[in-house]
Amino acid sequence: MTRRIAYLRVSTAEQRPDRQILGLRHVADELHLETLSAVARKRPVYDEVIARLRPGDVLVVWALDRAFRSVRDAANQLFQLQERGIRIHIASVRLDMDTAYGRWQYNTLSANAQYERENLIERTKEGIEAARARGKRLGRPPKLTPVQVFDAHYRIETKQATRVQIAAEHGIQPWTLTRAINRSMAGPAN
């Protein structure tokens, strides 16, 4: 009996898989959701789904970028799955991978997905650089104010308290305090 097993993925817990669930629940027997970046080294849910597939089964995904990392990955996975007698169904575009046209479309879509991903990365980097150029501080806010760092450094140097004691007072790890002191002594970054 042919099983239609769906793999769904969102990159972060804040992203919602609703669109994928709605698109796949009527075309798949099972839905397997993973919350993880596509470029993560290990994708346990994906690996489990692929391992469970048997000849005659169909791997169902909403879109290529939900399952594959790049054009090469998509082509390699398609080849490996076909070698095992497993078909792929991309629900958002209804590809028939049994035809030359379907395989051409698959490769074109995977190239488009990779282009979009690389373009997004480039735009993100440009946005970060533009924010830095405007003087924006990016990242997590500092745990300690400059006054707290100065006071901690003074108390450590005059042996009034240890790094561990001061870190405990502020509810931070000692290495966080050490980094803050080292950063303040190094001056502003260029």
In this structure, the answer to whether residues 165 and 105 fall within a common structural domain is: no
Q: Is the pTM of this model over 0.85?
A: no
Q: Do 79 and 42 belong together in one domain?
A: yes
Q: pLDDT for 130-178, tens place per residue?
A: 998 998 888 888 889 999 999 999 999 999 999 999 999 999 999 999 9
**Active-site residue, 70 included:** no
**Of 34 and 93, more confident:** 34
pLDDT of residue 58: 93
Q: Helices 163-170 & 174-186, crossing angle to 10 degrees?
A: 100
pLDDT at 119: 92
- Please say which residue of 81, 102, 120 terminates a domain: 120
* Residue bearing tokens 């290495």: 175
Assigned domain for 45 exists: yes
Is the residue at 94 inside a domain?
yes
Q: What is the CATH number of the domain that holds 73?
A: 3.40.50.1390
pLDDT band at 54 (very low <50, low <70, confident <90, very high): very high
Tell me, what's the pLDDT at 189? 54
**Is pLDDT at 188 greater than 70 in this prediction?**
no
Range name among 56-60, 101-105, 179-183 with the lowest pLDDT average: 101-105
Higher pLDDT, 146 or 37: 146
Query: Could you list the residue range(s) of the whole structural domain that residue 160 is in?
Result: 146-186
Distance set, CA 140 to CA 20, 137, 144 (Å): 32, 9, 12
Same domain, 173 and 96: no
Residue 87 and residue 46 share a domain: yes
Q: Does any domain span residue 130?
A: no
Cβ atoms of residues 189 and 135 within 8 Å = no
Q: Give me the number of domains the chain comprises.
A: 2
Active-site residue, from 11, 70, 92, 184:
11
Whether 106 and 162 map to the same domain: the answer is: no
pLDDT at 190: 44
pLDDT band at 32 (very low <50, low <70, confident <90, very high): very high
Question: pLDDT tens for residues 67-126?
Answer: 887 778 888 888 899 999 999 888 888 777 778 888 888 888 888 888 888 898 999 999
CA distance 40 to 34: 11
Whether residues 110 and 151 fall in one domain:
no
Shared domain for 172 and 99, answered yes or no, is no
The token duo for 176 is 């966080």
Residue 103 and residue 10 share a domain: yes
Check pLDDT > 60 for residue 36.
Answer: yes
- Given 120, 137, 169, the domain boundary residue is 120
| Residue 46, in any domain of the structure | yes
**Same domain (yes/no): 75, 161:** no
Q: Does residue 181 share a domain with residue 108? A: no
Q: Tell whether 58 is covered by a domain.
A: yes
154 lies in the same domain as 101: no
Whether residue 103 sits in one domain with residue 17: yes
Domain for residue 103, yes or no? yes
